[in-house]
């Protein structure tokens, strides 16, 4: 009888992603609700050093699957090993972060195990013994409650949608003996952006620029994001103009972000952009057009030239920070 909850943690550059801790915290909450165990699974290479960190979030068991072929994520190898562990442990529910890797792996596992998948969940509850997840559809214009009618159910949890809670858990690492055939796919190399950049979907603060930026120079936006420890985003028009990479796009056909503070600069606020940031805690809009639709959705609006206002805002924040330190 499947019962436990299995959470798959993800790491990069030697640290776990923030969303992995959110996944473990929610997993702990659900495990307590159901009176079952929470298992954390981590796949990779050289992970025994960092794996104990997972115990801080109330994990009952930690399963570490280590293999040189698991160094970089490949759908093929990760699906094989994760599916083996899932078959062996027979959990009722599998949770992972709605990252590019998490969503990719969850989809492959869903098909491999013929298990229902709900991706990008923002809330989870147990109703009459079944998992019900709330997830956005139609670019966030609608929230759907979906019920998973078979075990194991698979959920990917949207970053920044669940709180982290530290609870003491067992620190014992169980090493899973991985045996892998050489995969058909291979990862030739990775090109990573300059290190230290905050991942857009996990950032607490996102500062985005739109058509009002007028060109490639996003330095005023970057400076504001930097002083706030946040990430830089862009509207679709700014990406279409070639001013910013696709990976910066916030919106229905880009990334969905849910930061504590979202600052939209020179963005008029098309419904598709709004779909990508409407669950932010506080929305600020800076736009020189007083009739821009963004003002109808923003908590705070400033009418004026962003190139005048944003640098002054950055300066003010620097000053506030300086005062409070």
Partner 1 sequence: MNIIVLLKQVPSTETMIQIAGDGRSVKTDDVSWIISPYDEFAVEEALRIKEKQKGGIVTIVSVGGAKAAEAIRTALAMGADKGILVNDPATAGCDGLGIARILSTVVQSLPFDLIIAGQRAVDDENFLVGAAVAEFLKIPFMSLVIQEEIADGKITCHRTIEGGTAVVSSPLPALFTTQRGLNEPRYTSLPGVMKAKKKPLDIKTLTDLGLDPAIAATPLMQVISLKFPEKRKAGKIIDGATLADKAAMLAKVLHEEAKVI
Binders of partner 1 among residues 172 to 211 (CB under 8 A) are 184-193, 197, 199, 201, 205
For partner 1, the closer of residues 130 and 211 by Cβ is 130
Binds partner 1 (CB under 8 A): choice among 147, 168, 175, 217: 147
For partner 1, the closer of residues 78 and 176 by Cβ is 78
Dihedral sign, CA of 78, 18, 229, 195? Answer: negative
Residue 311 to residue 279: CA distance in whole angstroms: 26
Residue 38 to residue 166: CA distance in whole angstroms: 14
For partner 1, the closer of residues 29 and 135 by Cβ is 135
Residue 285 to residue 303: CA distance in whole angstroms: 8
32 touching partner 1, by CB under 8 A: no
Stretch of 24-32, 45-53, 56-64, 102-110 contacting partner 1, by CB under 8 A:
102-110
Binds partner 1 (CB under 8 A): choice among 103, 165, 211, 226: 103
Binds partner 1 (CB under 8 A): choice among 49, 68, 114, 215: 114
Report the site for partner 1 in 58-97 (rule: CB under 8 A).
Answer: 72-76, 79
Query: Contact at 8 Å (CB) between 194 and 85?
Result: no
For partner 1, the closer of residues 55 and 82 by Cβ is 82
Spatial CA neighbour of 278 closest among 299, 250, 294, 258: 258
Q: Which residues contact 184 (CB under 8 A, 6 or more apart)?
A: 76
Work out how close the CB of 243 gets to partner 1 at its nearest, in angstroms, rounded to a whole number: 13
Cα 189 versus chain centre, distance: 23
Query: Contact at 8 Å (CB) between 159 and 44?
Result: no
Work out how close the CB of 292 gets to partner 1 at its nearest, in angstroms, rounded to a whole number: 11
165 touching partner 1, by CB under 8 A: no
Work out how close the CB of 59 gets to partner 1 at its nearest, in angstroms, rounded to a whole number: 23
Stretch of 26-34, 40-48, 113-121, 208-216 contacting partner 1, by CB under 8 A:
113-121
Q: Is the peptide bond before 152 cis (omega within 30 degrees of 0)?
A: yes
Residue 133 to residue 30: CA distance in whole angstroms: 12
Three-state SS for 260-314 is: CEEEEECCCCCHHHHHCCCCCCEEEEEECCCCCHHHHCCCEEEECCHHHHHHHHH
Binds partner 1 (CB under 8 A): choice among 36, 50, 123, 303: 303
Report the site for partner 1 in 213-232 (rule: CB under 8 A).
Answer: 228
258 touching partner 1, by CB under 8 A: no
Q: Which two tokens stand for residue 138?
A: 């139609």
120 touching partner 1, by CB under 8 A: yes
Work out how close the CB of 49 gets to partner 1 at its nearest, in angstroms, rounded to a whole number: 21
């Amino acid at each position: 009888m499947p019962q436990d909850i299995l959470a798959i943690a993800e790491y990069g550059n030697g640290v776990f992603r923030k969303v992995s801790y959110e996944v473990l915290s929610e997993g702990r909450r659900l495990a307590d609700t159901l009176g079952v165990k929470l298992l954390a699974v981590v796949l990779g290479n050289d992970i025994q050093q960092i794996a104990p960190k997972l115990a801080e979030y109330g994990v009952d068991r930690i399963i570490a699957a280590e293999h040189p072929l698991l160094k970089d994520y490949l759908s093929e190898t990760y699906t094989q090993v994760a599916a083996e562990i899932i078959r062996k442990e027979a959990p009722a529910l599998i949770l992972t972060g709605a990252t590019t890797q998490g969503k990719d792996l969850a989809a492959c596992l869903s098909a491999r195990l013929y298990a229902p998948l709900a991706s990008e969940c923002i809330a989870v509850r147990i109703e009459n013994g079944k998992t019900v997840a709330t997830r956005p559809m139609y670019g966030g214009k609608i929230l759907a409650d979906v019920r998973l009618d078979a075990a194991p159910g698979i959920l990917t949890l949207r970053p920044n949608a669940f709180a982290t809670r530290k609870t003491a858990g067992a620190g014992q690492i169980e090493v899973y003996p991985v045996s892998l055939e050489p995969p058909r796919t291979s990862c030739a190399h990775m090109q990573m952006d300059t290190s230290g950049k905050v991942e857009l979907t996990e950032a607490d603060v996102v500062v985005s620029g739109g058509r009002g930026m007028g060109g490639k120079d996003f330095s005023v936006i970057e400076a504001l994001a930097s002083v706030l420890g946040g990430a830089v985003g862009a509207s679709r028009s700014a990406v279409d103009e070639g001013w910013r990479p696709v990976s910066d796009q916030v919106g229905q056909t880009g990334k969905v972000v849910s930061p504590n503070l979202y600052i939209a600069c020179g963005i008029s606020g098309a419904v598709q952009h709004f779909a990508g940031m409407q669950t932010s805690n506080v929305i600020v809009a800076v736009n020189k057009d007083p009739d821009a639709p963004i003002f109808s959705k923003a908590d705070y609006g400033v009418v004026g030239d962003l190139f005048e206002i944003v640098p002054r805002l950055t300066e003010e924040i620097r000053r506030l920070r300086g005062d409070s330190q």
